[in-house]
Structure formats: C-alpha cells, structure tokens
Amino acid sequence: EEMMTLDRAAQTVYTMWLREMIRFSRSKSRIIGALSTPLFFLVILGTGFSSAFQVRGGGTFDKSYLAPGLIGMSVLFASLMGGVSIIWDREFGFLKEILIAPVSRFFVSLGKAIGGVTTAMIQGILILIIARLIGIHYVSFWGVLAGIAVMFISGIGFIGLGIAIASKIESHEGFQMVMSFLTMPLVLLSGAFFPISNLPAWLKTLVYLNPLTYGVEALRYFLLGNSTIPVWQSIIVLVIFSMAMIALGGKLFGKMRA
C-alpha cells in the first residue's frame, strides 16, 4: 500500500510537470517575452554602461557584471509567472477536477513547481549561453554548473511564492498587478545593475532583505569569481527561502477552492 501511495505521488508530480512543459513549449510569445527583457538589458545597457561610466581605478564598466543579475532576473520573472497556470486552470475548469481527485494537493503543487522551475532554468540557461556568445567569460565549467544549481534553488523559491500568490488571487488582472508590484523592486534592489557595497546604509538594508540579492550574488561568485556577500551565506539564505516558499505555496494551494 505504501508503494502504491509513493507511485501515485510520483505519477501526480510527473503528470503536472509534463503538463507545464507542454504548455510552455506551445507558448512562443511567453518564451520570447521572457528572454527579450534580459537580452535588452544585456546588450543595450551593457554597451551603454561601458561607454558612459568609469569605475574606480580608472577602468571602464565591465558588461560581464550585468550577466548574473540578468540571469537572476530571467529566473525570477519566469518562476513568478509560473503561478499564472493555476489561474488558467481555474478559469478552464481543470483545477476543479484536480482538487476533487483522490491525489494529494501538495504533490499537485510540487509538480507545478518543478514544471515552473524547469521552464525558468531553460530561460536562464539560454541567457547564460547568449551572454557567453557575446563575449562574457565565465571562470570555469564547474562554476557554470554551480550557477545552474543556484538557478534551480532560486527558481524553487520564487515559483513557490508565485503559487502562493495565485492561490489567493482569482483573476489574471489581479495576478499581473501583484507581479508588476513585486518584480521591479526585487530586481532593482538586488544588486543586478550596480554594486551593493557602494549603497547608503538604509538602502543596503532593503537589499539584504531581498532574496533575489542572494541568488544574484551566488551566480556572480560561481560565474565570475567574485561577490560582495560570502557565497556560503548566499546559499544558506536561498535554501531557507526556497524551503519556506515551497511549503507556503503547497499549504495555500491545499486550502484553495476551485
């Protein structure tokens, strides 16, 4: 009986993951939209900053500084937007069928989360590859693999947050409004575009309260070999954040009504 329960749980997770992947593969506009903003920042801002700014010591701004932040931004956007699938499922009646089915709601939400983080990682890896193609160098192959692991941990946390929000909001408009309110402050206060070591004390406090900061800093360490925050501290914060968010998302999803 226990084996049957585990088998059903695994089948539930796989089915929900596969559904998210099929939906993602059919949504070309979603893929293009998710990639266009980070690429715009990387190409346009990277070039503009290089010519417009001088950094301490008389050198020029290095566009490679932007790459980890833009990868983190791509993972953030894709992960948070993963929650919108819950709203779609509610509108088309699929969610009601799931909620009355004899399967654990937690494993349903876990399957959705893994599907969402998979799509987020695909987009993050594409940015990673494109950044390399335009001349940004990474410290090592193992650093790139560690960076991909950071994408996964960060993505799990933000997809959990997206599921939690979607479980409480019933309309696309409401979800999009909350996402707009959340995403830009998270990105701007993450050190994605400027070194956090030079910020005033009150702004540093906000930056250190932002979970995306630790994802960006960990990516910067593994990809470029430097970071302001010790990498072990970034990883610990990311793991705690991700565990908390996936638990919150699963709990709120379990309580929702179709």
Q: Quick: pLDDT tens for 21-61.
A: 888 887 777 677 666 777 777 666 666 555 544 444 444 45
Give mean pLDDT, residues 8-21: 87
Please, what sign has the CA dihedral across residues 94, 31, 111, 187? negative
pTM of the shown model = 0.85
- DSSP codes of every residue in 109-142: HHHHHHHHHHHHHHHHHHHHHHHHHTTPPPS-HH
Give mean pLDDT, residues 209-213: 95
Helix segments in 27-104, DSSP class H: 28-40, 46-52, 66-81, 84-91, 94-100
- Residue 169 predicted with pLDDT over 60: yes
| pLDDT of amino acid 156 | 94
Q: What percent of the chain has pLDDT over 90?
A: 31
| pLDDT of amino acid 161 | 93
Q: How far apart are CA 114 and CA 92, in angstroms?
A: 22
Give mean pLDDT, residues 85-109: 79
| pLDDT of amino acid 50 | 53
- pLDDT band, very low/low/confident/very high, at 4 (cuts 50, 70, 90): very low
Domain locations in the chain as residue ranges: 2-255
- pLDDT tens per residue, range 117-126: 998 998 899 8
| Residue 122: partners with Cβ closer than 8 Å, 6 or more residues away | 24
| pLDDT of amino acid 77 | 87
Provide the CA 183 distance to its chain's centre, in angstroms.
Answer: 10
Give mean pLDDT, residues 197-225: 92
Tell me the longest C-alpha to C-alpha distance in the chain: 69
- Residue 2 predicted with pLDDT over 50: no
Burial class (CB in 10 A: 0-12, 13-18, 19+), 5: exposed
Between 104 and 214, the higher pLDDT residue: 214
Between 149 and 82, the higher pLDDT residue: 149
Between 75 and 2, the higher pLDDT residue: 75
| pLDDT of amino acid 60 | 43
Tokens of 187: 């990105």
Q: DSSP label at 150?
A: H
- pLDDT band, very low/low/confident/very high, at 258 (cuts 50, 70, 90): low
Side chain identity, residue 54: Q
- pLDDT band, very low/low/confident/very high, at 134 (cuts 50, 70, 90): confident
Lowest-confidence region among 59-68, 149-158, 238-247: 59-68
Q: Look-up: residue for tokens 């090592």?
A: 140
Tokens of 16: 């929900």
What value does the mean pLDDT of the chain take?
A: 83
Q: How far apart are CA 144 and CA 49, in angstroms?
A: 25
| pLDDT of amino acid 95 | 75
